[in-house]
Amino acid sequence: MPSPINKIATGGQTLKNTAMKKTILLFTTWILLISLVSTGCTRVERQRPIKISMNLWPGYAYAFIAQEKGFFSKNNVEVELTFKNVISESRELFKNGDADGFFDVFTDVVVINAEGIPVKVVYITDYSTSGDVIIGRPELHSISDLKGKRISFEGVNSFSHLFVLRALQKAGIEETDVQFENLPALEVLNALESGKIDAGHTWEPIKTRAIKRGYKALFTAGDIPGVITDVLAFHEKIVEERPDDIQRIVKSLAEARDFLFSNRKEAIEIMARAEGITPEEMASGINGVHLPDLDENREAMTTSDKEISLLRAFGAITDFYITSGQISQKQDVRKIIEPHFVEHVKRLQTTPGEHYNK
């Protein structure tokens, strides 16, 4: 029979073992909690990339500069750019929800919003001046020579359709005076060569290639200032859920634009390589657009007294689509345009970047 002393000793050892087990259990629990909290924090910080779709167009090709030169990374935002040659394919990615944002013409953004897909325009990338052209046969001298001819645009009731109609209207030509062809801009040169059309709306790289073969630019977007304005727009939901990331994207694009002005040769090479065209074609494309700075962005998004104002363009766009029956009533433009991000970046902008805007 064990002595009382042994019982006491054994009982004491048991108490020690129990206490040690509790200590180990508590320590292990704390480690697990810390691990879970750390994992949770990491997940919050490392959100999925924001997906942006874009097509072949020099005016917003500097998004590739923001990616390649690390401006997105520097500003702590992960962006996935999806490139399509044809603008309608890029647009469909956005409309189907496969992209959070997209670069496109303001005209088509307005239509998408009218179709019940709420969008927010957060940045103006460019105004087309001589980037968008109506290219015609060598024997044609001006847009007025198109009466009785065949002319193409890309997409019925699209920005391209509107551009061609406005060009004809300026020349005093009625819609019934011409024959229309719905044709992708990248196919215009082939259609001219085959005799399918007499003129067509296109842009780079087809513009440069067509002119080299003797075809003529009969009309440019600069003949109707502000008619083709390109923007970056996002689904309203992503703007509401991740405003800080949208802010960082706008900041990165503004910095990429500055890089283009200060390092033109390298910038042209980056953009040409990304879009699969030659540096010459990309340079021509950049020469055919105006890249607004932050001050111009803010002004165009908040005032209506300038030709390049989005508010002013909105009226002409909606009038056209109401007349054509594509939309039933005017929308509230201020629900589509969100100047806050541009205004905030401008407030934070430092002096060294200012000289690129002059």
Which tens digit of pLDDT belongs to each residue from 150-181?
A: 999 999 989 999 999 999 999 999 999 999 99
Distance in angstroms (rounded) separating the CA atoms of residues 168 and 219: 10
Looking at residue 305, its pLDDT comes to 83
Q: Which of 1-5, 136-140, 313-317 has maximum average pLDDT? A: 136-140
Q: For the whole model, what pTM was predicted?
A: 0.83
Looking at residue 152, its pLDDT comes to 98
Looking at residue 41, its pLDDT comes to 43
Mark 134-153 as b/e (b = at least 16 C-beta within 10 Å).
bbbbeebeebebbeebbbbb
Structure tokens at 230: 């390109």
In the chain, pLDDT over 90 holds for what percent of residues? 75
Looking at residue 355, its pLDDT comes to 39
Provide the mean pLDDT of the chain: 88
pLDDT category at 102 given cuts 50, 70, 90 is very high
Q: Is pLDDT of 193 > 70?
A: yes
Which tens digit of pLDDT belongs to each residue from 73-84?
A: 999 999 999 999
Residues contacting 17, CB < 8 A, separation 6+: none
Which tens digit of pLDDT belongs to each residue from 245-261?
A: 999 999 999 999 999 99
Looking at residue 6, its pLDDT comes to 47
Q: How many beta carbons lie within 10 A of that of residue 209, not counting itself? A: 17
Which residue has better confidence, 25 or 293? 293
pLDDT category at 31 given cuts 50, 70, 90 is very low
pLDDT category at 304 given cuts 50, 70, 90 is confident
> Shortest CA distance to 184 belongs to which of 196, 175, 166, 170?
196
Which tens digit of pLDDT belongs to each residue from 200-249?
A: 999 999 999 999 999 999 999 999 998 999 999 999 999 999 999 999 99
Distance in angstroms (rounded) separating the CA atoms of residues 292 and 40: 41
Q: Is pLDDT of 23 > 90?
A: no
pLDDT category at 356 given cuts 50, 70, 90 is very low
Average pLDDT over residues 312-338: 88
Looking at residue 45, its pLDDT comes to 55
**Structural domains for the chain:** 50-128+228-357 (3.40.190.10), 133-223 (3.40.190.10)
One-letter identity of residue 221? A
Q: What is the largest CA-CA distance in the chain?
A: 123
